[in-house]
Structure 1
Amino acid sequence: MKIRYIAYIAIALILGYLIFNKLHNAGKKDAAAQGGGGGAGGKGGKKGGPVPVNVQIVKDTVVNTAIDITGSIDPNEQVNLVAQTAGNITGIYFNEGSHVKKGQVLVKVYDQDLQATLKQTEYQIALAKENEYRNRVLLQKEAVSKQEYDTSLSSYNTLKAQADVVRAQISRTVVRAPFSGVIGLRNVSPGGYLSTQTSIATLVNTDPMKVTFNVPERYRPFIKAGTKITFNIASSRKNFSASVYAVDPAVDPATRTITVRARAANPNNEITAGGFAKINLVLEQSPRAIMVPTQCVVPDLKSSKVFIARNDTAYVRNVKTDNRTDTQIEITEGLKPGDSLIVSGIIQMRPKVPLKIIKVLH
C-alpha cells in the first residue's frame, strides 16, 4: 500500500514538471515572437527610408601632372685654389669662411728675385730705347746704315718682351679669387713652402645654387629651358623654387634617363651645397579636368562607377579614370560639370535608392 502511494506521488511530480515546462517554453516563444516582430518592423522601416548623404557639385579644375624625384645640390661655381708658381708663402690675405670678391689677393708667394730681374731689365730697356732713338735720328741723316738701326730696334723690342715675361712670372706669384664667393678652410700657413700641387683652400659661389636631377626619357618633351621646379631639403621646412637652364641632349643608356640642371636663388645661404633635394616637377597642366574624392569611385570588374543624386534618388554612372593623387582621382568620362556626386554613404548605395541630402559641397 505504501509503495502504491509513492508511485502516485512520483507520477504526479512528473506530470507537474511536464506541464510547467510546457507553459514556460510557450511564454518564451510568445516573447520572442513579439520581440522579433518589433525588430523586423524596425529594420524594415529603416531599410525603406531615405539614406542620408552628402553630395559634391562636379566642376572643372586645373590639374598639374607632376612627378616626384630626387636630385643633388651643387654650388654655382667651385674650385680648389692652387698656386701657379712654387715658393715660400709671404702673405695670406683671407679669413677662413669669409666672403671674398673676384680679383681679391688671397695668397702671396716670394718674388724678390723676379722683382730684381724685372728692375734690371727695365734699366736695359731704358738704355736700348735711347740707342734706338739715336740710331733713328742718324738713319734719317744717313749717318748709319739701315741694318744698324734695325739691330738697335730689335734689341729694344726684345728687352721689352723679356720684361713682359718677368711681369707675368711675378703675377703668377699672387693667388687671386677667380670669382666672388665664400672661401673654406685653408691648408697652408705663412712661411710654408707652396707647391703647384698644394690645395690652398676651396672657393665656392653659392648664389645661385645648381640643382641636378635625372628624369625618365619619356618625359623629355615636357622639359625645356625655363621649366619651373619646386624642391625641399632636409635642413629647412621651406619650399624652394628653381628654373631649368640646361638639359643633357643624350640619354644615359644604363638608366634610360636624361640629366637636367636648374638654378635656384640662394641670397640668404639657406640652401647648402652637397645636400639632397626632393623635387616636384610639373610636366603639364590640364585646365579642364574633373577631380573627385577617391572614396567615391567604386571599382568594378570591367570599369569603375560612381553614384549621382537626381530628384533625391541615387543613379549609377560608369566612369573612366586617369591620374590619381593621395586623395583624388581624375574622371575622364562619365561625369560632367553640374552633376551631384554622392560622396558619403557609398557602401549603402544601390540604383534607385531614395536619398536625404544633408550637405551640398562645392
Structure 2
Amino acid sequence: MKKYISLLGLMLLISACHKKDTQANTQDLATQKALIEKQIDSLNKLLTQINSQLSTDEVEIPIIDAEVLTTKPFIHYIDIQGNIDTDGNVLVVPEAMGTVKKIYKNEGDKVRKGQTIMVLDDAVLRNQISELQTQYALAETAYNRQKRLWDQKIGSEMAYLQAKTQKDALAKKLKTLQSQLDKFMVKAPISGTLDDLMIKEGEMAAPQKPVARLVNLDKVYMQSDLSERYLPQIKKGTPVTVTFPELQKTLNAKINYVGNFIHPNNRTFKIRINLNNTSGYLKPNLTGLISIKDFETDKAIVLPLSLVQEDREGHNFVYVLVPSKDDPNVYQVEKRLVKLGKAYKQDVMILSGLNPGDIIPTGSVRGLMTGDQVKIANKDILQITDNKLKETNKTK
C-alpha cells in the first residue's frame, strides 16, 4: 500500500513540474507573438505609405494651357532699314575767293532763294574795274575821233578799225569784270533754313570750301537697298509703312521710285519713298523701318514660332493633344510633322500637317514628349473655341 502511495506521489510531482514548464513556454510564445504583431503593424504602416506614394505619383498628371486651332488672317511684310534724305540739303560754296567782309544771316534764320547770305571783299576787283573804265573811256574817245575822221574820209581805215577793236575789247572785258562782282555776294541757292555757318567774318573763303549749309525739310524722302529677289513684288506705287522708333511715329506711304540698276557687289536695287514733312520732325540721316506688304491671306493656320520644333532628322514638328480613350479629362501628346510657310516676326504660317480644330499646347512645350499624358487648365475656353469652330463649319 505504501508502495502505491509513493508511486502516486511521484507521478503528481512530475505532473506539477510539467505544468509549470508548459505555462512558462506559453508566456514566452505570447511575448514573441506580441512583438511580431507589433513589427507587422509597423511594416503595414510603412507599406501603406509606400503604396500611397506610388499611387500619388501615378495619378499626378501635369496641367498645361492649350488652344483649339482656327484659321485667321496672315500678312507678311518685307522689313528693311532706310535713311531719310532730302534734295534740300545743300552746301553753299562761294564762286570767288576773298575775305568774308560781312555776314548778313545767322544760323537758324529762314532765307529765300537768291537772298544774300554774306559778302566777300571785292576791293581788288573794283580797282581793276575802275582802271578798266578809265582805259575804256580813253579808247572810246579815240574811237569817236577816228570815226569822225573816217566819216569825213580823213585818215586810214586801219587806224579806225584798231580804235574800234580796242574799244569793243575793253567793253567786253569791263562787262566780264562787272559780272564777277556778283560772285563776291554769296547767295542762297534754295529757300530753307541756314542750318550751319562754317566761316566767320575776316576768314578767307574759296570756291573749294563750303561756307554754309542750307536745309529745306518740307519734302524729304527715304531710300534703301532691296535684294533682287524682291523685284517681282516691288513696283512703283506699292504701299508701305514707315516707322520711326525714336520718334514713335508711323507713316503710310508708297514707293515713288524703283531703281533700274542691280548693284553687282551686293545684288540690290534702290527704292525711294517721298514723305511729307511740313512739321519738320524728319531729319536727314534719320533711320527708319520700311515695311512692304508682299503677301496676305484671309484664312491661314498661324502658330507662334516657339511652338514649332525640329527633330534630329531636320523635320519640323508640332505637338498635338489627343483626347484619351480612358479618361476624357486626360490628353495624350502626339507629334505631328508640319510644313512651314512664310514667317513674320513671332508667327509662322502652317501649310500642312495641322487642321482647324486640332488642340495645341501653348506656353513652354520643350519639356513635352510623345506619349506624355497631360490635363488642360483652360478647358472651358477650349470648349468655347471648339463650339465657335463648329458653328463656322456649319455656316460654310
TM-score bin, normalised by smaller chain: 0.5 to 0.7
Indicate the SS of the match to 1:239: strand
Corresponding position of 1:177: 188
Tell me the alpha carbon deviations over residues 263-284 of structure 1, each in whole angstroms, 9 at most, x when there is no partner: 3332222223233x24233151
Confirm or deny: 8 A CA contact 2:109 2:194 kept in the other structure. Answer: yes
- Residues 53 and 342 of structure 1 are in contact (CA less than 8 Å); yes or no, is this contact kept in structure 2? yes
Contact 2:76 2:344 (8 Å CA) reproduced: no
Equivalent-residue separation in structure 1 for 2:231 and 2:298 (angstroms) = 24
CA distance in 1, matches of 2:213, 2:89: 7
More strand by share: 1
> Quick check: 1:184–1:201 contact (8 Å CA) kept in 2?
yes
- TM score, norm. by length of structure 1: 0.68
The unaligned stretches of length 5 or more in structure 1 are none
Correspondent of 2:384 among 356, 359, 362: 359
SS at match of 2:384: strand
1:14 aligned onto 2:26: no
**2:276 equivalent to 1:251:** no
Q: Provide the C-alpha distance between the structure 1 equivalents of 2:108 and 2:65, rounded to a whole number of angstroms.
A: 67
1:252 Cα shift? 3.8
Distance verdict in 2 for CA 1:19–1:99, change over 3 Å: same
Contact 2:192 2:216 in 1 (8 A): yes
Which residue number corresponds to residue 71 of structure 2? 58
The alignment status of 1:92 with 2:110, answered yes or no, reads: no
Aligned partners of 2:74 and 2:349 also within 8 Å: no
- Between the aligned partners of 1:274 and 1:303, the Cα distance in structure 2 is 42
The percentage of aligned residue pairs carrying the same residue is 19
Distance 2:98 2:316 in 1: 79
Alignment of 1:269-280 (within 5 A): 269-275=280-286, 277-280=287-290
Distance 1:90 1:297, change over 3 A: closer
Q: Which has the higher contact order (CA 8 A, sep 6+)?
A: 1
CA 1:304 to 1:235, structure 2 compared with 1: closer, same or farther past 3 Å? closer
**8 Å contact from structure 1 (residues 135, 144) kept in 2:** no
Q: Which residue is equivalent to 1:167? A: 178
Aligned residue pair count? 343
Q: Which amino acid aligns with 1:257?
A: T
Gaps of 5+ in 2: 1-16, 323-327, 372-378, 390-396
Deviations 1:78-120 (A, max 9, x none): 3433322222322111111333222111111122454465567
Deviations 1:210-266 (A, max 9, x none): 43433333223333444444344453121245645352613242x343444443332
Larger radius of gyration: 2
Aligned mates of 2:241, 2:34 — CA distance in 1:
90
Indicate how the Cα distance of structure 1 residues 245 and 154 shifts in structure 2: closer, same or farther if over 3 A, else same. Answer: farther
Deviation at 1:178, TM superposition (A): 1.3
Letter aligned with residue 344 of structure 2: T
Q: CA deviation at 1:323?
A: 1.0
Cα shift at 1:142 = 9.2
SS in 1 for 2:38: helix
Trace 1:313-332 onto structure 2 (pairs within 5 A): 320-332=339-351
Aligned residues of 2:319 and 2:360 also touching (Cα < 8 A):
no
| 1:250 counterpart SS class | coil
Partner of 2:89: 78
Q: Please tell me the residue identity of whatever aligns with 1:249.
A: F
RMSD: 5.2
Query: Per-residue displacement from partner, 1:141-197 (whole Å, max 9, x unpaired)?
Result: 999999888777656654442233022210111111111233233233333433334
Q: Is the 8 A contact 1:293 1:343 kept in 2?
A: no
Contact 2:116 2:188 in 1 (8 A): yes
CA apart distance, 1:9: 6.0
Q: Which residue of 1 aligns with 2:216?
A: 205
